[in-house]
Structures are given as structure tokens and as C-alpha cells.
Structure 1
């Protein structure tokens, strides 16, 4: 029987480890600065005392993380709405595979919604490229995050992928704990949400049954995350420009921190999460295909739910009409919607002060692609 110890290199902290980790964090100057930034109204000593009084990871999430994310929702959105969660069984565990917009908030908002709908919070897959400082690693592991290791040599990558796959299956089937993972490595920068075959191949590494039964056991729920305004959209567009100018360009760790901060603090408008239907019966048809085709068909099934359940906002329809030089979706938005969206786009273009046409075209594509996927072209 596999145990937590087998997964020590990637798993989150458990209840019996949290006090020692809090004590370590309290000696980190960067962590103290973070607390001052996040909770300026609470003296450090009082906050430390509060952390040391907590008895479980669940208490930490509900008493510390939950109220902070609620403030983010209040201050930077016009509300976060949820659909489909009422159809999920709180006593079951699921793997939520979703499109990915924001580094921090996609999973944070999901856990708020799960808690509000009577579910336990889920564990979160996070790339180790984002764990810039040791104290960040400790903090996210306290918040139920497990590590996805990136940029390894081929042999080590295969071993790491197998361990990750085993951990996710162990979490779902033995610990009865749900999991969130993005449908692709990194965020979708252009709004064209597609499930990577490598993700599904990784999940299947730990299965010992038929292809269909391996994935039935995981209880996949496709999840659609729809931000009216992506607070990092202009940063993503700028990244496209930098890659156009230099194909070898790669984001730095400082860039990742900038994206995290912009995502948390930036304007988002309305936000919607829609949980799809757990995959089950439709998986039976996949056993008749060859291995590669099985993966492709499964990706299509997941993508279909994510695309169909995506909440399209006025800005999405406006961008689609602008790109196609048409008024096909004119009944989906008002003149006020058009003015608001154009002002938003102009404001974000002005922040960069570089190649305005390229930035605008990139932003339009970003907002139009969900419409294209919803209407299949």
C-alpha cells in the first residue's frame, strides 16, 4: 500500500507538519513583507500567534486564505458566479481539468466555490518554475499545492511524470481528495483553450486497467473559467511581441512574479466558473481506438465541454466582430458595452507604449477565440 511518504518530494504539507512550517516562515523576512502587504491592518505578532493556533490545513484555508480571497473578489471583480457544482457529489473526489487564465486565482476561486457548495477544497497542481523562493514553496504547500516538475532531462521527466500520475490517482482514489490541474502547461495566452495530449498521457501512466477504466477512476470534470477581463491580458500580449522580436525570448522569474501580482490586484469584471459533467459513459467508446487516437479523442471530449460551458461576455462578442469586420454578434452587446470594452483595451495598450497595432490585434484574438470555439469556427 502506497503512503504519503512515497510522495514526499511533491506532495503538500499535512496537518501534523504545519506548525513547524509556520515557525520556519516566521523567520523569513520576505514572508513578513508579504504579510504586511496582504494584511496591513494586522500586526505581525498577532498574525503569527493566529497561525500557530491553527490545528489543521483546513483551518488555515478557511480562516486565513478564504477571507483574503473574498476581499480580492470584492475589490477586483464584479462578482464570481458558479454553475454546475450543485450536480457534483460532496462525498466524491474529482479531478477538475480546466482552461487556465490566472496563475494564482483560477485555483483560489475554485476552492472558494467548492467550500461554498459544501465540498472539501481540492489539491492544486503548480509548476515548480513558479516556486521562486523557498518560502513560496512552503506557503503554497500549506495551501494544498503539489509540485509539477518542469524542464527535466527526458529520463527524469518520465520518472517525474509517473510519480505525479501516481500521486494524483492516489489522492483521488485513496485519500478521496479532489484535484485541480490546468488542461495545458502554463496559461492559454491567446484564449484558444486546448487540452494537451501530454497531460492525458501523464494521467494514464498510473493506470493498470483499460484506457476507459483508467480515466473513469479519476472522475474527470471539465471546468470552464471565464473572466470578463483578464488582468494579465496586456502582459500576455507583450510577451507575444517580445517573442516575435526574439524567438528565443523566455519569461524571467521576475516576470512570473509581476504576472502573479497583476492577476491578484487587476480588474477582472465578472467571473464565472462552470463545472461540467463528470466523464463516464462516453469513455467506453475510446477503447476501440489506438493509443494516440484515444488520447486525441479524450482531449476533444474535454475541450467540447470547456468550450460549450465558457461564459461569453460582451467583450468576447465585440472582439469577434472586430476581428471579422462584421456585426454578426451585434445583438449580444450594447453601445455602452462597446465603449466600455474599447476604453479598457485602449487603457491597457497605453500601459505598454509599444507597437499598439500588434498589441491590439493580440488582445482582440485573445477575447475572440472563446467565441470561435463556442461556435466551432
Structure 2
């Protein structure tokens, strides 16, 4: 029996779905979005299909699977997953990945897993993104559990501990894989580093010492490599606003715009590569280390496995050379690749609408976004 304490944050149970479907079907904002996403399909038909879904997986296969593959087809040059580093396909893993897109990181992972005969993942999602009641319901139908943010310190600790217990319960009892980003929010400069706080949260639940608790989670580092980041210009834009306006804060409208551009903007090739589960490294770790040392060692293991599994594209090499002002990696791209990338940069920079637009600064920020994965890859593989 699942514990009541998780009711506020967990995905819905399958037997709760009929009631939730009726609430969504009656919600006019949801109706408007559903008919926009599925143009030409009468809403009655969407409602009928929803009512026919008996489980969350049914719902995902009926709606999300097709929509996500359509996005992949329209907005990318292909979507691939190499899962060979994880030998046991039946085990439940905690995929900890770098974070490129608010919705697609976990969405693409799930459809790729389905195509390899595996189950979809439960998704950790911040409540700051759940700006309307229908969104909160929809994500919980779609196997998401809620990460509560912006609480006062004491409540924050209680909330983190509860989420940790929930995640341990999900891996151990439900035998259900989970996806969580390695940090809160996306790395704006693509310098992907695991926040120790994520590991501290994971170590709150479970039994035994910190290492035992983390081993219970079967942590599998996952590298996500987008050839192009559709939000790159928005991130550069934000860098300049933060530089020029000391207390600049993004609005909800900015977040929604970013979600929309991330979903439908062009991504080039997108590759998912799992690293080996970190239990081998945890087993050999010195248990006498202080907590801060232990967490930073474990973060470093995850980072190394994510960085070493990036797929590096010609534009990453070109960006590195453009930033350094040399041609160290020119064997990895053609003149045409470089011209294409430069034209792409100019096109994205032109989309930034800022008074006092600092093109030199913005261009450098965008080059860093594409060069950093390569820098980290070289360091992780000692290349």
C-alpha cells in the first residue's frame, strides 16, 4: 500500500484517472490547448480517447508518444538512445542527466525507452512550472512527481525529505525508473555540473550510511546532446539582462515562452547516452570522508560519466576554435560546417531584442554554450 504522505506530490494512481480525465475535459483552458496541439481533431474525439485510457502508460502511448515523435520529426534531424552501458533492462534506475529542455529531456527519454521495449520514467518536475491547475493535473497523469520550490527553510527540508522517501519507494517497491535533472534549472552556459544538493536530497531517504542509501537508487548518469539549442539566444539575452540589471528576474511569461521555443525550435541531432550505473564507484568510495567531501566526490563521478558520454558535433568543435581564435579542431569540421554554424549564430543573435544590445558579449556567450560540452568532454576523457 502506498503511503498517504506522498499523495500531494506523486503521480496519480491509475484508478484515480477517470475522475481527473473528467476534470481536464471540463477545463476550458485544457480544451483550448488540446485542440491547438491536435489541430483538426474534434475535442469530443480527444475526450473519448482519454476516457478509454486505463493507465498512465495507456495515456502516454495514446497521446504523448505520437506527439513527441511528431516534434522529433518536425524539429530535429533524428533522435537516438544508446542504453548499452546499463546491462539490466529490467532494473529500475535513477537517471540523472544534464538539463537542456524543460519538457523534452524526460519526454524524449521516455519514447526512446518505449521503443527499446522498456517502461517510461517517472519525472521530477518543479512546481514553479505548474502555473495553471490543468498543467499540474496533466503532468501527474504523465507520471510526474512534484518538486516543491520556494518554501521557507524548515518546510523545504521536510519537503525534500518526503520527496527522497518517495523516490526510494519508487525505485525499491514500485520498481519504476525515475528521471531527475542534475541541477535545479538548466545550465545557461551548457557547463553541466551536478549540484551536491540533489545528492543530499537523495540521501535523505533509504537505510544505512549515505553510500548505501545512494546505491539503493541505482544512479545512472545520462548525457543528453542537442546539436542546436533552440533557446540559446534566450539564454544569451538573459545573460546580458542579468549583467545590466542587478535584480533581474525572469517572469512566468518568459518561462512559458522558453518552454514553447524549446519544444518547437530546431534542435538538429539529439542523442541520449547512458553511462554505467555509479554503484561500482560508490562501492570503492572511502566511507570515512566527511559528508561535504563525499557528496563532492560523488558529484564528480556523475559529472565525469555525463561529460565522457556527450556526443560532440562539428559545431561544438567550430565554436571552441572560434572562441579561442585558432583552428585546433579544424579536422573535425569542414569550411561548410563552420560557415553554416556562423550563419546560424547570426540568425539567432538577430532574434535578441534588447536596448543597448552588446553583440560582442552575446556572441561570446553563445559560443561558450557550444564550446563548453567539448571542453568538459576533453577533460573527462583525457583526450
For normalisation by structure 2, the TM-score amounts to: 0.96
Q: Is the 8 A contact 2:215 2:282 kept in 1?
A: yes
CA distance in 1, matches of 2:242, 2:64: 36
Deviations 1:131-187 (A, max 9, x none): 000010011111001001111111001000100110110100011000000000001
CA distance in 2, matches of 1:308, 1:155: 38
The answer as to 2:248 corresponding to 1:249 is: yes
For normalisation by structure 1, the TM-score amounts to: 0.97
CA distance in 2, matches of 1:231, 1:32: 27
Query: Which residue of structure 2 lines up, in the alignment, with residue 297 of structure 1?
Result: 297
Distance of aligned partners of 1:4 and 1:42 in 2 relative to their CA distance in 1, 3 Å threshold = farther
Query: Which residue of structure 2 lines up, in the alignment, with residue 369 of structure 1?
Result: 372
Distance of aligned partners of 1:280 and 1:105 in 2 relative to their CA distance in 1, 3 Å threshold = same
Q: Is the 8 A contact 1:196 1:299 kept in 2?
A: yes
Deviations 1:254-282 (A, max 9, x none): 11110110011100000000011011121
Query: Which residue of structure 2 lines up, in the alignment, with residue 323 of structure 1?
Result: 323
The alignment of Structure 1 onto Structure 2 pairs a total of residues equal to: 376
Tell me, what secondary structure is at the counterpart of 1:223? strand
CA distance in 2, matches of 1:53, 1:363: 46
Deviation at 1:86, TM superposition (A): 7.0
CA distance in 2, matches of 1:88, 1:248: 48
CA distance in 2, matches of 1:214, 1:341: 45
Tell me, what secondary structure is at the counterpart of 1:91? coil
Matching of residues 207-226 of structure 1 within 5 Å: 207-226=206-225
Tell me, what secondary structure is at the counterpart of 2:299? helix
Query: Which residue of structure 2 lines up, in the alignment, with residue 258 of structure 1?
Result: 257
Query: Which residue of structure 2 lines up, in the alignment, with residue 131 of structure 1?
Result: 130
Query: Which residue of structure 2 lines up, in the alignment, with residue 334 of structure 1?
Result: 334
Distance of aligned partners of 1:286 and 1:86 in 2 relative to their CA distance in 1, 3 Å threshold = closer
Tell me, what secondary structure is at the counterpart of 1:89? coil
CA distance in 2, matches of 1:286, 1:334: 47
Matching of residues 144-293 of structure 1 within 5 Å: 144-284=143-283, 285-293=285-293
Query: Which residue of structure 2 lines up, in the alignment, with residue 77 of structure 1?
Result: 76
Runs of 4+ that moved beyond 6 A:
none
Distance of aligned partners of 1:86 and 1:64 in 2 relative to their CA distance in 1, 3 Å threshold = farther
